[in-house]
Amino acid sequence: MIRMSRSIRGLLSLLAFAAATAAHAGSPGGAVDYEPLLSAAQGVPTLSEWTLLATGLLLVVVAWRVLRARGVNGRLMAHAVLIGGLAASGLAGHELIRRAEAQFIPNAVNMTSPTGGTVTGIYYLKITNATGVPQRIKAIRPDPPRSGVLSPAPDTPECTVGLVVQPGNPCYVRFYYVN
């Protein structure tokens, strides 16, 4: 009988859990918020790519120093970094089996409030501006926790945050299951 250490069993359990697919119930869907074009835009604070990279490198340096202070030898740390890198690259969205999805005819929904509002739907939506005034897409909110937004949408123009939809014109958004 082969004996495995606790850390190897834990790692194998984590990888098996990450690779497992979940059973789905219900339909993927969400909501799209809109507002009149005359509304003031608000900025969203974010970190730049360089700041995120610097933060990640700082985290690596701190982790390395903590492990060295605890007396962990270099060979074990090298294995930990290698396994962590492999796990991170394997769990970063690379698919071993790709999805096969049927094509849907879009569900037609209308923006009806000239002062802004929300439209909701499932799967694939054709959202038409029926308000008579230009409307800006303010937010796209998939239903939590198992829905996401498929981008790019099969038809154009794609509903994206900030898109201005002129009266009588549509935009498209498609929701899907998140694994």
Answer for the pair 152, 108: CB distance below 8 angstroms, yes or no: no
User: What is the distance between the alpha carbons of residues 141 and 115, in angstroms, rounded to a whole number?
Assistant: 19
Q: What is the pLDDT of residues 115-125, one digit of tens each?
A: 999 999 888 89
CA distances, 73 to each of 8, 76, 77, 101 (Å): 18, 6, 7, 49
pTM assigned to the model = 0.50
Does residue 57 fall inside a structural domain?
A: no
Cβ-based neighbours of 15, under 8 Å, separated by 6 or more: 87, 90
Work out the average pLDDT over 34-62.
76
Q: What is the pLDDT of residues 130-167, one digit of tens each?
A: 999 999 999 999 888 778 888 888 888 999 999 999 99
What pLDDT score does 90 carry?
64
Strands (E), the chain: 29-36, 107-111, 117-122, 124-129, 135-142, 147-150, 164-165, 170-177
Does residue 146 fall inside a structural domain?
A: yes
Please tell me the total count of domains within the chain: 1
Higher pLDDT, 161 or 76: 161
Does residue 79 fall inside a structural domain?
A: no
Does residue 23 fall inside a structural domain?
A: no
Does residue 153 fall inside a structural domain?
A: yes
Q: With a cut of 80, say whether residue 31 has pLDDT above it.
A: yes
Domain extent, residue 145, equals: 29-41+104-177
Cβ-based neighbours of 162, under 8 Å, separated by 6 or more: 41, 136, 137
What pLDDT score does 65 carry?
83
Does residue 95 fall inside a structural domain?
A: no
Does residue 121 fall inside a structural domain?
A: yes
Higher pLDDT, 162 or 20: 162
Higher pLDDT, 104 or 152: 152
